[in-house]
Amino acid sequence: MTSRKVGSFGKAHGLEGEIKFYPLVDADWFKAGTELKVEGRPYTITAVRDHQDQLLLSIEGIRKRDVAETFRNLVAWTDAPPELDDAEYWLEDLVGLRALSVDGSSLGLVTEVIVGPAQARLVIQAGSDPGTRRMEIPFVEELVPEVNLDTGTVVLDPPEGIEGIAE
């Protein structure tokens, strides 16, 4: 089974070791007893609760704020990922896809997906030369209206002024 990225940690919350968490999969998948891997080490979730637009996780053995704070900006992985619906995909599967504009012109390749607290961003490299331009596009439906893993493409509707990236 392939390990899959399921979210990232934010800052500690409160004094009892809770940690803000930004899930990449359905929040209902996270429950007490779920095992996550962080930097290769296993951790078990003991409690989960909703908090604004993220989750608050309690992790077995983490009971102090200063210890919880060491998880900030770390990525959580699992060896037992949730099953995805047909129209769903893993963000890391977008790396390597050809980026096209809505008119079909080539914009480059997706070289990275950066996961942030607000949303993920696709990094598009215009060419294979390290000196070529790159852009970061927020991974939201208005700017990324189509992802097609079968054809290996992602369609972008970038803001005005970015269309010339492939020049």
CATH number of 91-162, picked from 3.20.20.70, 3.30.70.360, 2.30.30.240, 3.30.470.20? 2.30.30.240
Mean pLDDT over residues 14-38, rounded? Answer: 92
pLDDT of residue 119: 80
Domain extent listing, the chain: 4-78, 91-162
| CATH number for region 4-78 | 2.40.30.60
**What length is written for the chain?**
167
* Domain 4-78 identical in fold to domain 91-162: no
Chain segment 113-166, per-residue pLDDT in tens = 987 767 888 999 986 666 778 889 999 999 999 999 999 999 999 777 654 444
pLDDT of residue 159: 74
pLDDT of residue 115: 79
Q: Does 69 have pLDDT greater than 70?
A: yes
The string of DSSP codes covering the chain is: ---EEEEEEEEEETTTTEEEEEESS-GGG--TT-EEEETTEEEEEEEEEEETTEEEEEETT--SHHHHHTTTTPEEEESSPPPPPTT---GGGGTTPEEEETTS-EEEEEEEEEE-SS-EEEEEESSSSTTS-EEEEE--TTT--EEETTTTEEEE-PPTT-GGGG-
**For residues 46 and 54, which has the higher predicted lDDT (pLDDT)?**
46
